Each structure stands twice: as structure tokens, then as C-alpha cells.
Chains A and B, each alone.
Chain A
Amino acid sequence: DQQVKQNSPSLSVQEGRISILNCDYTNSMFDYFLWYKKYPAEGPTFLISISSIKDKNEDGRFTVFLNKSAKHLSLHIVPSQPGDSAVYFCAASAGGGATNKLIFGTGTLLAVQP
């Protein structure tokens, strides 16, 4: 049962344009969402997060949007740079309980073309 889904395995974008990565979830108990970036042979690097009480969070070139009614979130990167090329994972947790485990999507490979 895949509770967090990233339906696009890959995305190709021109340098300077906007990259939009999408993520859907099924568990209404999730209340905290994160995006991680991962290069080959390295661990995931935290990018940005959002609590379910918000619908938008911005940090520099990265903005995450949350649509709770649609159980959908997206990561916008603008402008995209070649160094952004990596696999992006969406993750969710049901915080406030005894555990803080993250449920990850399967990732989207972003390729930013110079």
C-alpha cells in the first residue's frame, strides 16, 4: 500500500525555467511533509518542509504548496539550475504521536538541461 506517491519517475527541464515536482498521499493522518534531494551514492539532503496547518512555504528558489483537500503537494524550483539535477523524494509523517517515521514516495529524477 503506497501511501505517498510520486507518479512521475522523471522530469526534464531547461535551465532557468520552473521545475514542478508532484506528490500525492492517501493517509489523512499525515500532518507534516518534507522534500529531500538525493544524489547517487549519497544520503538524502533535506530541502524544505511544510506543516498541514499551512498551504505554502518558501525558501529561496524552493516553494512547497500543500492542497489538503486534494491530498496533494508540489515542489516548485525556480529558476532551475543544472546543479538541481538529482532524485527528489517526497516524505510524510503523522506527527504528534509516539513515532516520527517518514513515509517516502518512490522519487522523481529531475534533469536540468543547460
Chain B
Amino acid sequence: NAGVMQNPRHLVRRRGQEARLRCSPMKGHSHVYWYRQLPEEGLKFMVYLQKENIIDESGMPKERFSAEFPKEGPSILRIQQVVRGDSAAYFCASSPETGVGPTDTQYFGPGTRLTVL
């Protein structure tokens, strides 16, 4: 059973370009979460999606950032007009369902390290 897949693992962009980060959840998981880890900090929640729905985007910056989880295909985190402050590790996690208990456990992918020059 493959784990959470993320690609690319490393992404270099120049200021003003667009960055697209992809996440394929574990088989059987329908919930996807995106987190960002800035240097020397912990992981910060960005957005929680189910298929074709954004459930909670309270951690997303108001501008330039968007996320989707289409009916078919991976979840995409899109950053438009990147700036140097967007340089970070972006982690995707998936879980089978919500509610209290073991099924809530979020399993993380290896991350995408974005560097903005």
C-alpha cells in the first residue's frame, strides 16, 4: 500500500513565477491536508480538502495561494507570483475520515521543498 505521494520533491522558482505542488493521498483516503514548515519552525496548517470541496482554508494566505482536490487526480497547491518568503517545505497529509479516534490519524508525504530565488 503506497503512502502519500508528493511531487516534485524539490522545486526552484524565480520571484513572480507560479509553483504547483501535487499530492496523491493514500489509497482509500478521501481527506487531504496541506501544511507548511518555514525554516526553524513547526508545521502550520494551511487547508483541508475533501474531493471537490474545500472544508477549511483558515490557514491559507488570502492572496496568491489556492488549493483544489478534483474528483479525479491529485490535490494541487498552487502559489502564484511566488516571493522569497514562500520558500519552505510543503507537506501534504491524508486521512480516511474525520471524527475522534484512530481513523483521524493523518499520514504525511515526504514534502516538496520550494526555493524561490
Contact = CB atoms under 8 A, between A and B. Distances in A.
A31 B59 CA distance: 20
Given A43-B4, A101-B48, A93 B55 contact: no
Given A106-B41, A107-B42, A49 B102 contact: yes
Contacts of A43: 4, 6, 91, 108-111
Contacts of B110: 41-43
A99 B46 CA distance: 12
B115 interface: no
A107 B43 CA distance: 9
Interface stretch (B12-20, B65-73, B75-83, B93-101): B93-101
Interface of B: 4, 6, 31, 33, 35, 41-45, 48, 55-56, 58-59, 91, 93, 95, 98-102, 104-111, 113
